[in-house]
């Protein structure tokens, strides 16, 4: 595995093959020259042995990536996706080895994602199902009367299950790339006001501020996907804010990108967690509320537009910024 590969610096396998032939013939010729005073059969035998040794040394380095890929492929077929090959060669086989390593890394990441997704979905489904089962069992056993309060508790858990299933379906469609973008021009202020009315609406004790500069601002995007992202950001702000209020700002920056900020007055997100909060089933250190998929869906919707999403540094609260090229 770690034998030297003297021909690795060469970029062409054909050049390596030519050098292999030349060096083997040269080694045989030199050996035959020095053994010229021997009997012919001994000199010829010695020349052939030296040529064979040189060929084996050089050919081992040329073909070892292929043998390593064969062994790694067999290990991957048996379930071991951690195998990698030594890719120090600069020729076509070296390129193949590097491509093989990238493929193995992608397969390992996909397998890890699949395992994590199954574990996370199982965990997320267990809580509302267990709560719903407990409520229904109490009703059946006569411990709790089927009054409006008990039915409302059951309805809350059912809605939580429905939200989780909906978010999972949305995320799977986004990740699979089966959600085509349908861009068109729209007015930003009525669009954002509609999103806020939909998410906040007549709920008691909830207020929001909308600031669009200029008021007549127009942009180009897939409004369905953008509505999905902004709705999830507003939900996140209301869930983690301190006073059930949210401030949404929108403007166009110097690069002609649409910038949308969603700001709450909650405790904020620590710097160490600002990347993880956009991962699946991450709640930024909190344990209550939500499915843990809202920010992941927002990130995917933004990335479909070739945009960026991130957490800004603010004196107080949490501000998540979306930047979309228009």
Tens of pLDDT, residue by residue over 131-184, are 888 888 888 888 878 888 888 888 888 887 887 777 777 767 766 666 677 888
Which residue, of 74, 103, 132, is where some domain finishes? 103
pLDDT at 241 (0 to 100):
67
| In a shared domain, residues 161 and 254 | no
Convert 160-200 into a string of H (helix), E (strand) and C (coil). Answer: HHHHHHHHHHHHHHHHHCCCCCCCEEEEHHHHHHHHHHHHC
| In a shared domain, residues 164 and 286 | no
pLDDT at 11 (0 to 100):
64
Distances (CA, A) of 184 to 170, 223, 299, 326: 21, 8, 20, 10
Cβ pair 239, 283 in contact under 8 A: no
DSSP 313: P
Domains identified in the chain, total number: 3
212 belongs to a structural domain: yes
Antiparallel, parallel or unpaired: β 318-325 and 308-312: antiparallel
Cβ pair 295, 219 in contact under 8 A: no
The SS3 of residue 309 is: strand
Cβ pair 156, 282 in contact under 8 A: no
| In a shared domain, residues 137 and 171 | yes
Cα–Cα distance, 28 to 22 (Å, whole number): 10
The separation between CA 222 and the C-alpha centre of its own chain, rounded to angstroms, equals 22
| In a shared domain, residues 233 and 142 | no
pLDDT at 123 (0 to 100):
66
Looking at the chain, the whole-number percentage of residues with pLDDT higher than 70 is: 74
The band of 309, judged by pLDDT with boundaries at 50, 70 and 90, is very high
pLDDT at 18 (0 to 100):
66
Cα–Cα distance, 108 to 58 (Å, whole number): 33
| In a shared domain, residues 233 and 144 | no
CB-neighbour burial class of residue 31 (10 A; exposed 0-12, middle 13-18, buried 19+): buried
Cβ pair 320, 234 in contact under 8 A: no
pLDDT at 288 (0 to 100):
47
| In a shared domain, residues 170 and 188 | no
Q: What is the reported pTM?
A: 0.55
| In a shared domain, residues 215 and 303 | yes
Cα–Cα distance, 190 to 307 (Å, whole number): 21
pLDDT at 285 (0 to 100):
45
pLDDT at 192 (0 to 100):
93
Cα–Cα distance, 275 to 278 (Å, whole number): 6
What CATH number is attached to the domain comprising 165? 1.10.287.130
Phi, psi for residue 8 in degrees, rounded to 5: -60, -35
The distance in angstroms from the start CA to the end CA of the chain is 52
* Range of the structural domain that residue 129 is part of: 117-176
pLDDT at 286 (0 to 100):
47
Residue 16 CB coordination number (10 Å): 23
Q: Any idea which residue has 């858990």 for tokens?
A: 157
- For residue range 225-243, list pLDDT tens digits in order: 888 889 888 888 887 766 6
Statement: residue 212 has pLDDT above 80: yes
112 belongs to a structural domain: no
Q: Any idea which residue has 């070892």 for tokens?
A: 64
Residue 287 CB coordination number (10 Å): 5
Which residue, of 176, 197, 222, is where some domain finishes? 176
Cα–Cα distance, 206 to 161 (Å, whole number): 24
Closest alpha carbon to 303 in 233, 220, 229, 237: 229
The band of 219, judged by pLDDT with boundaries at 50, 70 and 90, is very high
Phi, psi for residue 79 in degrees, rounded to 5: 105, -5
78 belongs to a structural domain: yes
| In a shared domain, residues 303 and 225 | yes
3 belongs to a structural domain: no
1 belongs to a structural domain: no
| In a shared domain, residues 167 and 72 | no
- For residue range 108-135, list pLDDT tens digits in order: 887 887 777 677 677 667 777 888 888 8
Looking at the chain, the whole-number percentage of residues with pLDDT higher than 90 is: 12
pLDDT at 216 (0 to 100):
92
| In a shared domain, residues 231 and 161 | no
50 belongs to a structural domain: yes
| In a shared domain, residues 193 and 310 | yes
pLDDT at 60 (0 to 100):
64
Phi, psi for residue 158 in degrees, rounded to 5: -65, -40
45 belongs to a structural domain: yes
What CATH number is attached to the domain comprising 277? 3.30.565.10
Contacts of 85 (CB under 8 A, 6+ apart): 65, 68, 69, 72, 97, 100, 101
Contacts of 147 (CB under 8 A, 6+ apart): none
Which residue, of 176, 211, 227, is where some domain finishes? 176
Cα–Cα distance, 232 to 195 (Å, whole number): 10
8 belongs to a structural domain: no
| In a shared domain, residues 191 and 124 | no
Mean of pLDDT over the chain? 78
Cβ pair 104, 41 in contact under 8 A: no
- For residue range 29-86, list pLDDT tens digits in order: 777 667 766 766 666 667 667 777 777 666 666 677 777 888 888 888 888 888 888 7
pLDDT at 196 (0 to 100):
85
């Amino acid at each position: 595995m770690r034998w030297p590969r003297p021909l690795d610096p060469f970029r062409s396998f054909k050049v390596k093959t030519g050098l292999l032939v030349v060096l083997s013939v040269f080694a045989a010729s030199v050996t035959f020259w020095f053994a010229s005073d021997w009997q012919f059969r001994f000199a010829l035998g010695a020349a052939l042995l030296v040529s064979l040794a040189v060929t084996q040394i050089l050919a081992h380095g040329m073909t070892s990536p292929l043998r390593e890929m064969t062994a790694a492929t067999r290990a991957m077929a048996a379930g071991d996706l951690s195998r990698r090959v030594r890719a120090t060669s600069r020729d076509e086989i070296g390129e193949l080895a590097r491509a093989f390593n990238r493929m193995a890394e992608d397969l390992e990441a996909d397998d890890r994602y699949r395992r994590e997704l199954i574990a996370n979905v199982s965990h997320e489904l267990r809580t509302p199902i267990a709560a719903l089962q407990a409520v229904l069992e109490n009703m059946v056993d006569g411990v709790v009367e089927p009054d409006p309060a008990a039915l409302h508790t059951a309805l809350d858990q059912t809605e939580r299950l429905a939200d989780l299933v909906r978010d999972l379906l949305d995320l799977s469609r986004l990740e699979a790339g089966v959600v085509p973008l349908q861009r068109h021009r729209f007015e930003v202020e009525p669009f954002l006001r509609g999103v806020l009315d939909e998410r906040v609406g007549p709920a008691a004790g909830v207020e929001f501020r909308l600031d669009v500069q200029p008021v007549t601002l127009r942009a180009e995007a897939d409004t369905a996907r953008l509505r999905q992202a902004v709705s999830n950001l507003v939900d996140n702000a209301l869930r983690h804010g301190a006073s059930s209020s949210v401030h949404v700002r929108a403007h166009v920056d110097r690069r002609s990108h649409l910038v949308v900020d969603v700001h709450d007055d909650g405790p904020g997100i620590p710097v160490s967690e600002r990347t993880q909060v956009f991962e699946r089933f991450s709640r930024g250190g909190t344990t209550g509320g939500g499915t843990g998929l809202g920010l992941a869906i927002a990130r995917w919707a933004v990335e479909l537009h070739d945009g960026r999403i991130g957490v800004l540094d603010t004196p107080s609260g949490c501000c998540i910024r979306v930047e979309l090229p228009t």
